[in-house]
Structure 1
Amino acid sequence: MKKIIHPIAGALAILAIATFWLSTVLSELFGSYESVTIVKTTIPWAFLVLIPLLMITGGSGWALARGRRGGLVGAKLKRMPWVAANAIVFLIPAALFLSSKARAGQFDGVFYAVQAIELAAGAVNIALLSLNMRDGLRMAGRLRGLSKRTA
């Protein structure tokens, strides 16, 4: 069951984060202040889905690792503290701050500075989680490169 839950929860989590990121960029580039406000105020509510997905992914991944710490498993485990720290230090506070500023209609320099930090931190997490997905696919033998036996 863990072998089914882990990749599904992980893929949904990456999809959610990428959707937040892309929605932000598109609303900022092509939308009105109203569309930016909708995106910025929706993202914190989406945490109610994203955070459990990340917890399920992390817990099932930990269980699948079964004490292994080398190879691709080790690489995945080393990335996860960075993903979590990035979310706790930058992404969640930025999303809550930007939601508040957008609701108040305060699209000022501070809003855009925090927005830039949020987009950079989001891109880092998307990259790190994508690397973990790639390594997971390699361990499952679904990607060329390393197979299960070398993980």
Structure 2
Amino acid sequence: MLKILHPVAGIVAMITIAVFWLATALSEFFASQAVVIAVKTAIPWGFLLLIPALMAAGGSGFALSRGRRTGLAGIKIRRMPLIAANGMVVLVPAAFFLAFKAEAGQFDTAFYGVQALELVAGAVNITLLALNMRDGLRMKGRLRP
């Protein structure tokens, strides 16, 4: 069961973050203010999918590692606190702040500064999750080292 849950939860989490990131970037650069407001206020609702997916991926990954802290398993485990901290310290508060500002129609310097920070932090998490996925595929022999 864990061998199915782990990759599925990881893929759901990565796709969800990628959708958040792409929706934000595309709406900011190419869409109307109404679309930006819709995207920014919808993203916090996506946490209802994202947070359980990340918890399932992390928990099942720790269980599958069986205490190993070396090799690719160790590398993946060392990345997880960075992913979690980035999400909890930067991305989640930024998403709520931006949703609040967008709903109020306050597209000011603070909004765009936090928006830029969110895009960078989101790209970092997508990269770290992609590296974990790559290493997981290598561990399973589905990807050459």
**Which residue in the other structure is 1:49 paired with?**
49
Runs ≥4 in structure 1, deviation > 4 angstroms? none
Residues paired across the two proteins, number: 145
Return the offset for 1:114: 0.3
Under a length normalisation based on structure 1, what TM-score does the superposition of the two structures give? 0.95
Identity, % of aligned pairs? 66
Return the offset for 1:15: 0.2
**Which amino acid in structure 2 is aligned with residue 62 of structure 1?**
F
**Which residue in the other structure is 1:30 paired with?**
30
**Which residue in the other structure is 1:78 paired with?**
78
Higher relative contact order, chain-length normalized (CA < 8 Å, sep 6+)? 2
**Which residue in the other structure is 1:65 paired with?**
65
- Unaligned runs of at least 5 residues, structure 2: none
Task: For residue 142 of structure 1, give the secondary structure of its aligned residue in structure 2.
Answer: coil
For residues 22 and 14 of structure 1, the distance between their equivalents in structure 2, rounded to whole angstroms, comes to 12
**Which residue in the other structure is 1:149 paired with?**
none
Under a length normalisation based on structure 2, what TM-score does the superposition of the two structures give? 0.99
Task: For residue 69 of structure 1, give the secondary structure of its aligned residue in structure 2.
Answer: coil
Return the offset for 1:25: 0.3
RMSD of equivalent CA atoms: 0.5
Q: Deviations over 1:70-92 (max 9, x none)?
A: 00000000000000110111000
- Unaligned runs of at least 5 residues, structure 1: 146-151
